[in-house]
Amino acid sequence: EAGVTQSPTHLIKTRGQQVTLRCSPISGHTSVYWYQQALGLGLQFLLWYDEGEERNRGNFPPRFSGRQFPNYSSELNVNALELEDSALYLCASSLGPGAPYEQYFGPGTRLTVT
């Protein structure tokens, strides 16, 4: 069974630009989560989507947004990139909001903002 996949693997952008990251959950999982892992700061919860709806949001500014498609894949968009947005962005999936809570992570997208 394929795990969570993310694309691209690495990305380099300049300050002020916009970026879109993509995630495909494990087959059968309806919930997708986004986390930011900045150096020295651990994993910070960004967003949770389930059945196409945003269910929860972490303490991040509105320029971080996303969506979930009917096939449960998801995109994370970051506008007006800032240097401190440089981080590993991790996507995770789980069976759903009422299901077992295990979240399975993808390999991440490494974003560098210069």
Partner 1 sequence: GESVGLHLPTLSVQEGDNSIINCAYSNSASDYFIWYKQESGKGPQFIIDIRSNMDKRQGQRVTVLLNKTVKHLSLQIAATQPGDSAVYFCAEMFSGGYNKLIFGAGTRLAVHP
Binding site for partner 1 (CB under 8 A): 4, 31, 33, 35, 40-45, 48, 55-56, 58-59, 90, 92, 94, 97, 101-108
Nearer to partner 1 (CB atom), residue 41 or residue 80: 41
Measured CA to CA, the distance from residue 109 to residue 89 in angstroms comes to 5
Q: Is the peptide bond before 70 cis (omega within 30 degrees of 0)?
A: no
Minimal distance, residue 61 CB to partner 1, in Å: 16
Task: Give the pairing type, strands 109-113 and 10-13.
Answer: parallel
CB atoms within 10 A of CB 64: 18
Smallest distance from partner 1 to CB 63, Å: 20
CB-facing half-sphere around the CA of 60: CA atoms within 13 A: 25
Tell me the closest approach of the beta carbon of residue 16 to partner 1, in angstroms.
28
Q: Looking at beta carbons only, is 12 or 80 nearer to partner 1?
A: 12
